[in-house]
Amino acid sequence: MPYEYLKPKSLEETIKETEGRIRYQDRFMDFLVQPFVTPLYLGLSRAVYKEIRCSGLENLDEIKKSRCAVITYNHMIDYDAVEIVCRLFKAGIHPASVSYQDLFYKSSKALRWLVEGAGAFPVFNNEERFERTKLENFYNQFLAYLSLRRPVTIAINGEITRERRFPKPRNGLAHVLLNAPEKIHVSASEIKIMPVGVALIAKMNEYNKVFFDEKHYRNLVVRAVAAFSMLYKKSSLYLSFGKPFTLESALKNFSAESEREARNLLSAEIMKGIKNEISTVWKEFDLEKRYNVSSADYLKEE
């Protein structure tokens, strides 16, 4: 059954509903996704990308042992998100992906039903962000998974979370994360945040024309195949799973004059801190410094 965002729900109701979903989700992951889907995707990605490099995988062990874990990444396109999640599956981590997806338009109801109905990911339709009830339910999903000790992935520069799209911090996932200790009754020291750096080196103009041209490529599968063909051996993906840090450490340098002002200030500062952590990780992929080759030369036709 797909996630229902229309009906107002308390956090307690959402947690109870999510408990049942997790039992099904674990079976779905263990018997289908992990043994079949993940190896298939990782095999296809190796066929498409010129090169894939991944570092910091040892940090996944620390996340596995955490009471609560939030895995953040600087989302670029849907494929890098899938790559990250597949790496987590391979490491034996079954994360909830809290993000709204451009793929889930009205024309893709079947895909959305499959993904949500299988209990794999709570997703949020791009068009649903304007309705407060749906937004609150979406945020409650995030808190429910943390409460139930389920690692959560967040694309922090998706439209819901990037700073330029929510000047009032109370509207973003950063603020929800700030309030998580109080809402789910854990200490800030128990919430671990692990940044993942993503660098995709590719010629994206033609890819975007194909993948987002609904006029000529209405079928999602056809568009995906055409886009993969366009990328074939012309792109490289670099991932780095950074060292986890606690929410408490992100907060420790800030003091509050008043609770409300502190919350607004801290949620913006937390977001800034997380983005700085990711930026540090992402800098590892400076091609010119690390690989002694310019981006322009790297993308030249062979």
**How is 56-91 classified by DSSP, letter by letter?**
-TTHHHHHHT-SEEEEEE---SHHHHHHHHHHHHHT
Per-residue pLDDT, 106: 53
Phi, psi of 70 (to 5 degrees): -120, 120
Per-residue pLDDT, 165: 31
| Non-local CB neighbours of 127 within 8 Å, separated by 6+ positions | 105, 106
β-partners of residue 194 are 71
CA separation for the pair 144, 211 (Å, rounded): 33
Per-residue pLDDT, 160: 32
Which domains does the chain possess? 11-295 (3.40.1130)
> Quick one: tokens of 133?
């009830």
| pLDDT values of the chain reduced to their tens digit, one per residue, 302 residues | 556 667 888 999 989 988 888 887 788 788 888 888 888 888 888 877 888 889 999 999 999 888 899 888 876 666 677 788 889 888 888 888 766 555 555 555 655 555 554 544 555 655 556 677 777 887 888 899 899 998 888 776 543 333 323 233 445 676 788 788 989 999 989 999 888 888 777 766 666 666 666 666 566 666 667 666 666 666 788 888 988 888 887 766 444 444 555 556 566 666 677 767 666 766 665 555 555 555 556 555 44
Per-residue pLDDT, 201: 77
Q: How distant, in Å, are the alpha carbons of 27, 46, 119, 295, 301 from that of 286?
A: 40, 21, 37, 9, 20
Q: Say if CB 185 and CB 67 are below 8 A apart.
A: no
β-partners of residue 52 are 237
Q: Is 119 left (phi over 0), alpha (psi -120 to 50) or beta?
A: left
Per-residue pLDDT, 210: 61
DSSP one-letter string for 230-254: HHTTT-EEEEEEPPPEEHHHHHTT-
Per-residue pLDDT, 268: 67
Which residues in 151-164 are b (16+ Cβ under 10 Å) and which e?
Answer: bbbbbbbbebbbee
Prediction pTM value: 0.71
Per-residue pLDDT, 288: 52
